[in-house]
Amino acid sequence: MTAHKTYWLEHAWLGTHTEPGVALEVTADGRIAALRTGADAPPPGAEVLRGLTLPGLANAHSHAFHRALRSMVQVGSGTFWTWRDLMYKAAQNLTPERYFALARAVYAEMALAGITNVGEFHYVHHAPGGSPYADPNAMGEALIEAAAAAGIRITLLDTAYLSSGFGEAPSPHQQRFSDGTADAWAERVSGLKPREHALIGAAIHSVRAVPADQLATVARWAEERRAPLHVHLSEQTAENDACQAAHGRTPTQLLADHGVLGPRTTGVHNTHLTDVDIALLGGTSTGTCMCPTTERDLADGIGPAVRLQHAGSPLSLGSDSHAVIDLLEEARAMELNERLSSRTRGHWTANALLAAATADGHAALGRPDAGRLEPGALADFTTIALDSVRTAGALPRLGAETAVFAASAADVRHTVVGGRHVVRDGAHTLVPDVPSALAESIAAVRG
């Protein structure tokens, strides 16, 4: 492979430390060919990235259409369940065309925040009332094309959502989510094909939404394809109570009984777990995707992330409902939430928190070749300013600490995917006016 471009990184986070003066060569097929430290000045012809360059961030859990709910669901009080009613109303207004426009704008917002790969937990499959579109995967294809139009990678986690709760028929709002059976879900999702920027994975919405005798069908589909499998897990105590009543065991135990857990599986939230649950997840190397902003916003609780990681569960991060889109904030929040809960500091190093936002997140989405600045990896990276009002004055050698505990998405200056600029100097190169794109697409969904 021959390099077609060289970037000079003023400072680069290399996983364990921050290195000044790094020359990074990119191949014609969008991978890192070579990385040379000690480059005190830019090589001739190199593209200069001033600030701190990190591997591209991985948003391991997204519901793109939830972006239309930002601020609306902050009025008054309520619970997860009242929030869900507002979410259903937004879902009912989606069409493939509206979803493409909204997701393109949302994914462009992610690129502006340094995110190069998104795990889209996708369950709005059919027309209102449950009738399939002429193309039964029209909604999923809209999301895949939206990611391409916004210049980022996507793992479409096509979601089985069959029941309103432990075998009950879907509610009228949920009919467009359901394929009827897991076999019908598998037949439909098999029509989706991966492409250069898009992988196809699977998801079980929750143990509420997929009957126990059909969990193995979804797990088998993912296993046969070596595909990622994600599941909302123990997000609410009400889910745990209902599962105990229906099956006499916790959701984690139910998933274990039906072969769902394993190293390609990620539990999203994993908030209300027993000691046995934690041992099961860690012992099977099942991942944990924490979404601290959403978990705080919905008053879900603080999950046992430290204990899960110590047990063997790799951690990743997601923006979930998109109350904010800022993976640096999610990394910071995971540590700060734990400090509030335990009244002690320093549960993770800044390097470990960045690993959750980068390499471990990409691995959870089926891309173990991303999230690292090293030869052979995908040339996906992002640069944050070290001269903003948030980051000015920080010691460059403390780059990881600055990124996690001081910077925000507003500090992202460049985002490169496959060696090509998607965000340059804070402006998106493919979506000229992201705020207008968001405003217009959200207005169309709100009706």
Helix (H, G, I), strand (E, B) or coil at 412: strand
Catalytic residue among 66, 269, 421, 428: 269
Selection from 160, 157, 162 nearest residue 147 by Cα: 157
Structure tokens at 421: 């600029």
Enumerate the β-bridge partners of residue 182.
none
Strand 427-428 and strand 420-424: the pairing is antiparallel
Burial of 238 (0-12, 13-18, 19+ CB in 10 A): middle
Which amino acid, one-letter code, is at 242? A
Catalytic residue among 158, 300, 320, 360: 320
C-alpha 31/C-alpha 432 separation (Å) is 26
Query: Which DSSP string corresponds to 66-113?
Result: GGGGTTGGGSS---HHHHHHHHHHHHHT--HHHHHHHHHHHHHHHHHT
Q: Are 57 and 358 in contact (CB under 8 A)?
A: yes
Structure tokens at 29: 């097929």
CB atoms within 10 A of CB 41: 10
Is residue 320 part of the annotated active site? The answer reads: yes
Selection from 172, 185, 178 nearest residue 208 by Cα: 178
Which active-site residues does the annotation give? Answer: 269, 320
